[in-house]
Chains A and B, each alone.
Chain A
């Protein structure tokens, strides 16, 4: 048997063995391996894509956070400014009100004072008049105890009256 003539025995066994090997590998070997490799490839691609998406989302979130922070700062500044303005306004108003009130009170006080002074003066005048009438009565009582004196006084009074009317006629 030369090298170039296939031996039928080996040919037979080879056919059987290779057929069996092919069947087993084609059924349980390569499809499993290839499917796993493909699944892994798909999984890796999927992971890469989702990682990219997540990174994009994260960047968006960061920008959003920055924007919110800036907005909050602006709002804070605005509120502070408003509060300061309100405070100033309130203080000014209060001051104005206080000034007005004090002015009013002062004026009222002055008016009252003037009234009281007048009534006091009136009182004093009346008292003085009463006192002088009483004094005059007392003096007259003591002086006109006797008739002589009464006559003298009447004379003097009459003189005085005439004098004053004389003077008044001149």
Chain B
């Protein structure tokens, strides 16, 4: 508490004292890291930014355009430029006939998209590598050790404890999806915690990513729902007045269809995004307190680093827990849609 007061006092006093060389925009710093960019800023070496340029793919008024993101840094390119402020802040926009900013169809390979590719590559290499090991070693000749053994332990834990027990008798059909979701979320969570390239892309803390995952779960839940499942939604076992003249329960149940995956989407997104924001904010303390003076800055640096380490440790835990929770909730939802279905 005292530290916080000191910090507040420092930040308020510093601009007034007037010896702040450069204002630190924490908001920009934090959300810049959490959000998406067109190039991948790797490191700044003494004034020069080392940025990996990425392809910008847009379909504007003049059709499809593909160009390097480094062109955007130099200014508008063929009418496209990065908006500052406004509803499309940070995104590529162009001006239409009336001069208003409009957003083209933007399929650019941004930092997050590249991160997605890299993480998917890591995931595929890991699991297909393991599968290769199993193909080369007959089951009755050798048991895996090392990395393959670790992956096997995780796979069997998720498969036996989560999928088998939550989905029910015909878990075999859903095991590949649920395991893919688990490892996808886990790998992306962990890669997001790696602060340097090629990690650091905040993917599972991005709502588009979690939305796709939730959509997959939604599809798997509802496309193979049993008769009993649909009956429970549209004609649940409740007193007749709750469903007959005014279909109260059916409406609630019907909304439940969408709130369940929505909760999945928000839970994962919020947890990971908040974790990233917390770590970045803690580390931002160091740069904020630079203005206050060496003593407070030094002590705050120690505190910030300690908290940062703690938060990172916590986030590693959260990375696993959220992957586990996502898989478990998906399995439970799928299990609910398989009620009354007994044979494997």
Contacts and interface: CB of A to CB of B under 8 A. Distances in A.
Interface in B51-85: 57
B254 interface: no
B108 interface: yes
A47 to B, nearest CB: 8
Contacts of B206: 6-7, 10
Contact of B273 (A1, A3, A14): A3
B110 A36 contact: no
Given A8-B107, A21-B120, A28-B128, 8 more contacts: A1-B91, A3-B207, A7-B208, A8-B106, A9-B106, A30-B127, A30-B180, A34-B175
Interface in B119-171: 120, 123-124, 127-128, 130-131, 134-135, 137, 139-140, 143, 151-152, 155-156, 159
Interface in A131-168: none
A17 interface: yes
A18 B159 contact: no
Nearest to B211: A6
A18 B208 contact: no
B204 to A, nearest CB: 11
Given A5-B207, A18-B213, A36-B139, A30 B116 contact: no
Interface of B: 31, 34-36, 57, 87-91, 105-110, 112-113, 116-117, 120, 123-124, 127-128, 130-131, 134-135, 137, 139-140, 143, 151-152, 155-156, 159, 175-177, 179-180, 183-184, 206-209, 211-213, 216, 273
A37 interface: yes
A34 B113 contact: no
A28 B131 contact: yes
6 contacts: A18-B120, A25-B180, A26-B176, A26-B180, A32-B131, A33-B134
A6 B207 contact: yes
Of A17, A26, A39, most B-chain CB atoms within 10 Å: A17
B128 A24 contact: yes
B209 A14 contact: yes
